Amino acid sequence: MRKLRVLVLLHPTLLPPEDRSAATEKEAFEWKTEYDVITTLRKLGHEVRPLGVWDELLPIREAVTGWKPHIVFNLLEEFLGLTEFDQHVVSYLELLQAHYTGCRPRGLILARDKALSKKIVHYHRIRVPRFAVFPRGRRVRAPRELTFPLIVKSLSEEASHGIAQASVVDTPARLAERVEFIHRSIGTDAIAEQFIEGRELYACVLGNRRLQVLPIWELVFEKLAAGDAPIATARVKHNPDYQLRHGIFQQPAEGLPPGAAEAIARTSKRIYRILGLDGYARIDYRLDGEGEAYFLEANPNPEIAKSEEFASAAEAAGISYPELLQRIVGLGLNRSR
């Protein structure tokens, strides 16, 4: 295996320490992805140089032109504290003619806007929940074509940011209250979509032109509190204590209707290509009681910590974690500029 110089771009606060044993469990959870990627690449024999990036592009240019890495492993999810700026960093890497992992700018832009991605996918006759967008600074009115319950989210934020049990609303008053919360607390436009009662499924896709869909994964809720909806809230995604307390975990989707897994895999490949995704991405669905899958959103460059859905699904497909990272690097190197 060829030994490479790998520049890892990450948020400055997520630079893991050399000695993980000195960190608390909560601290280690914050930078688990960065730690897993850096340590695994080093164990593979690559020369790895982490670079914390906040609001300056010059350090990237100096590292790329001075150190001349074979590839940039992109773990950035924001720039200047804004998640919608992540595509600009990738565009800058393209201007520098640097190889990098993950998705190109076009796919990041299309997938970032949940309404736009739904419109594009729906145009191609793929099932999506009915939805409406509520821009900041405008009065909130419940559209007639939407029936309650609805789930309210940020239009552009990822990682379940701003999603809680209060996000599922059943009256116009609660809709207005939650939309205003998104506007005020998250600082983005809001989207309200039909809440699909059912199962939360993930299809992880790996590849540029030739695509592989890993085994369909599911977010399971074993001890859901009475009245709570089975949704991926911020606490469900990022609070290990909450996950343990409520029996929340991810596993291969079991007992799917006949043909559902194959249909989701085919649809996921279509969505991946329609939205211009490459590298690796996760496609999220809700499966209703009739066995119909509804596309929720696409997540380019999703979490790839050892314990998260993508790596777990890869392992179920016979792809070890080191092999997964090596394949992601290879996809970045082999992609035409």
**Is position 117 within any domain?**
no
pLDDT digits (tens, 9 = 90+) for 173-231: 999 999 999 999 999 999 999 999 999 999 999 999 999 999 999 999 888 777 788 88
138 and 70, same domain (yes or no): no
317 and 206, same domain (yes or no): yes
313 and 185, same domain (yes or no): no
Q: What average pLDDT does the segment 20-28 reach? A: 79
Of 194, 217, 246, the position where a domain reaches its end is 194
Of 143, 169, 194, the position where a domain reaches its end is 194
pLDDT digits (tens, 9 = 90+) for 264-281: 999 999 999 999 999 999
d(CA 245, CA 248): 8
**Is position 121 within any domain?**
no
d(CA 54, CA 11): 6
The residues near 258 (Cβ < 8 Å, ≥ 6 apart) are none
User: What per-residue string of b and e applies to 146-184 under the rule 16 or more CB within 10 Å gives b?
Assistant: beebbbbbbbbbbebbbbeeebbbeeeebbbebbebbbe
The count of domains in the chain is: 3
pLDDT digits (tens, 9 = 90+) for 48-92: 999 999 999 999 999 999 999 999 999 999 999 888 899 999 999
Is pLDDT larger for residue 289 or for residue 239? 289
**Is position 124 within any domain?**
no
Is residue 111 within 8 A of residue 205, CB to CB? The reply is no
**Is position 118 within any domain?**
no
Token pair for 234 = 């911020």
pLDDT-derived band at 144 (thresholds 50, 70, 90) equals confident
Return the closest-CA partner of residue 129 out of 149, 112, 111, 109.
149
CATH number of the structural domain spanning residue 136? 3.30.1490
329 and 252, same domain (yes or no): yes
d(CA 4, CA 304): 20
CATH number of the structural domain spanning residue 279? 3.30.470.20
The residues near 4 (Cβ < 8 Å, ≥ 6 apart) are 46, 47, 69, 70, 71, 329
Is residue 8 within 8 A of residue 51, CB to CB? The reply is yes
The answer to whether residue 159 scores a pLDDT higher than 80 is no
Token pair for 245 = 């307390």
Output helix, strand, coil percentages for the chain, rounded to the nearest 5: 40, 20, 40
**Is position 110 within any domain?**
no
pLDDT-derived band at 336 (thresholds 50, 70, 90) equals low
What is the rounded average pLDDT for all residues in the chain?
93
**Is position 156 within any domain?**
yes
pLDDT digits (tens, 9 = 90+) for 316-330: 999 999 999 999 999
Is pLDDT larger for residue 12 or for residue 226? 12
pLDDT digits (tens, 9 = 90+) for 236-256: 877 888 888 888 889 999 999
Token pair for 161 = 């940011």
Expressed as residue numbers, the domain containing 244 is 198-334
Query: Please, which residues bridge with residue 199 across strands?
Result: 287
Is residue 195 within 8 A of residue 228, CB to CB? The reply is no
269 and 307, same domain (yes or no): yes
- Give the global pTM: 0.93
Of 148, 168, 194, the position where a domain reaches its end is 194
The residues near 247 (Cβ < 8 Å, ≥ 6 apart) are 220, 221, 222, 223
274 and 186, same domain (yes or no): no
